[in-house]
Amino acid sequence: MKLSDFANSKENIEEKLDETVKESLNEKYDELKDLSHDELLSRLTKEIKRQKEAGEFNYDALISSLNAIKMYLPVGTYDNMIRIIDEINGKD
């Protein structure tokens, strides 16, 4: 395999990964788009508890993700989510 072949192959792999991520995000959006504010917060709470019980909870990654979408959230939702995450994070 030539170096140029490897470079092209790498780009194709990255494109496929990007497409997979986009598809996953679109599916998650479609799943959640019609839920009420209370339903979304309830799901967030349940997911954090599940992650903590499974030893998968990553506070910093969750906060980083939340900061990335902050501008798309309704007023007050970001603060409520941070409060819930902080409250659950403090519990063992």
The continuous run of DSSP H or E covering 19 comes out as helix 3-32
What confidence score (pLDDT) does residue 16 get?
A: 63
Q: Identify whether the C-beta of residue 82 lies closer than 8 Å to the C-beta of residue 62.
A: no
Q: Identify whether the C-beta of residue 44 lies closer than 8 Å to the C-beta of residue 84.
A: yes
Average pLDDT over all residues of the chain: 75
Whether the full predicted model's pTM is greater than 0.75, yes or no, is no
* Below-50 pLDDT ranges, the chain: 1-7, 92
Give the separation between CA 80 and CA 37, rounded to whole angstroms: 10
